[in-house]
């Protein structure tokens, strides 16, 4: 079996090392210029048009994580080519940790106390009651439910929204476009955990975010292309939104002059909410390739029409 690691050299080396430890697997970096006919699988973050056509015996392309939007965006993927994603159960836990940490930072006024510390100022402020920290999660799949489970012991009311009707213990569920305004109206902390699809691109725009109560917080751990950054900035500057925590951006990394780096109401992090284990990525890629060689479908294969 053979795999080509088509990830930038700086980021791709750990994946190359993990795959190289699997017996019977030949692994190349993209810069190694492997024989095109020997490449059976590609591990990548992004695939551009014209790339997969270089490899006549390619069986699959695997993402390095759960998101595949930058792979299925290629217009020349053969219908028979399997596209897979990585499902690491620890990622849901890590993302939930990140979201809760960002929410607590704001709801417990930690930036305010940090400012007071810098002035040697001893001043207490009332603690915001849990009932005033209503969480609304866009997307209540595996990750969204992990986030909900993390919030519940803290006493924060949790609601979730999905395209289709779902019933989940401990979550007030909303579904479809008709129920989205109602979910937004009761949400003080909006968390986007949706996959990127044509329907979710630009979803977090001024019209939608304006439906949140005044002073609400936005946390985006979905995809940067789902958020209209200029609309967010305007609502923060106007005071309608109180804070934002962004781990994903339309352009990664944002340019050095991007406003998110310096805005006092924004916490910007470099796509670190969660990362699949390198060894788990390697194991799942090798398992999927072995299944395809046996004529079976791989685990975690993506519905390319749905985009996830």
Domain boundaries, the chain: 2-88+276-293, 89-268
> What is the rounded distance in angstroms from the CA atom of residue 158 to the CA atom of residue 298?
34
Statement: 2-88+276-293 belongs to CATH 3.40.190.10: no
Q: Would you say the CATH fold of 89-268 matches that of 2-88+276-293?
A: yes
Return the pLDDT at 8.
86
Residue 275 is predicted with a pLDDT of 86
Query: For residue 66, what pLDDT is reported?
Result: 83
CB 192 within 8 A of CB 95: no
Residue 273's nearest CA partner among 94, 103, 126, 114 is: 94
Q: Which are the catalytic amino acids?
A: 223, 271
Q: Is 97 helix (H, G, I), strand (E, B) or coil?
A: helix
Topology (CATH level 3) of domain 89-268: Rossmann fold (3.40.50)
Bridge partners of 305, per DSSP, are none
Q: Are 48 and 70 contacting, i.e. CB atoms less than 8 angstroms apart?
A: no
Give pLDDT, residue 148.
97
Phi then psi dihedrals of residue 19, to 5 deg? -65, -35
Q: How confident is the model at residue 276, as a pLDDT?
A: 86
* 308 residues of the chain, pLDDT tens digit each: 899 999 988 789 999 999 999 999 999 998 898 999 999 999 999 999 999 999 999 999 999 988 888 899 899 999 999 999 998 888 899 999 999 999 999 999 999 999 999 999 999 999 999 999 999 999 999 899 999 999 999 999 999 999 999 999 989 999 999 999 999 999 999 999 999 989 999 999 999 999 999 999 999 999 999 999 999 999 999 999 999 999 999 999 999 999 999 999 999 999 999 988 999 999 999 999 999 999 999 999 998 877 77
Q: What was the pLDDT predicted at 134? A: 98
**Structure confidence at residue 89 (pLDDT):** 80
Region of 213 please: left (phi>0), alpha (psi -120 to 50) or beta: beta
Alpha-carbon distance of 200 to 232, in angstroms, equals 16
Q: How many CA atoms lie within 13 A of 2 on its CB side?
A: 14
């Amino acid at each position: 079996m053979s795999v080509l690691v088509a990830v930038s050299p700086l980021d791709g080396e750990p994946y190359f090392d993990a795959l190289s430890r699997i017996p019977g697997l030949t692994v190349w970096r993209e810069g190694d210029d492997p024989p095109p006919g020997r490449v059976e699988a590609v591990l990548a973050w992004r695939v551009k048009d014209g790339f997969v056509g270089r490899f006549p015996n390619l069986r699959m392309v695997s993402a390095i994580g759960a998101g595949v939007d930058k792979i299925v965006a290629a217009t020349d993927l053969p219908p028979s080519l399997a596209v897979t994603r990585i499902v690491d159960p620890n990622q849901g836990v890590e993302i939930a940790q990140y979201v809760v940490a960002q929410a607590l930072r704001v709801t417990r006024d930690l930036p305010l106390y940090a400012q007071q510390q810098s002035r040697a100022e001893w001043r207490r402020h009332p603690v915001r009651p849990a009932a005033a920290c209503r969480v609304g999660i866009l997307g209540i799949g595996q990750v969204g439910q992990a986030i909900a489970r993390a919030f519940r012991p803290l006493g924060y009311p949790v609601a979730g929204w999905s395209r289709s009707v779902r019933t989940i213990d401990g979550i007030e569920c909303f579904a479809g476009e008709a129920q989205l305004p109602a979910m937004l109206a009761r949400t003080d902390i909006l968390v986007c955990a949706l996959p990127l699809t044509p329907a979710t691109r630009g979803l977090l725009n001024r019209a939608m975010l304006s439906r949140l109560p005044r002073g609400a917080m936005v946390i985006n751990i979905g995809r940067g292309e789902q958020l209209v950054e200029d609309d967010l900035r305007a609502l923060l500057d106007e005071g309608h939104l109180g804070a934002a925590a962004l781990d994903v951006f339309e352009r990664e990394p944002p340019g050095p002059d991007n406003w998110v780096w310096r805005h006092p109401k924004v916490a910007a992090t470099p796509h670190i909410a969660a990362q699949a284990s390198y060894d788990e990525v390697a194991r799942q890629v090798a398992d999927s390739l072995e299944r395809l060689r046996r004529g079976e479908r791989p685990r975690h294969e993506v519905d390319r029409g749905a985009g996830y």
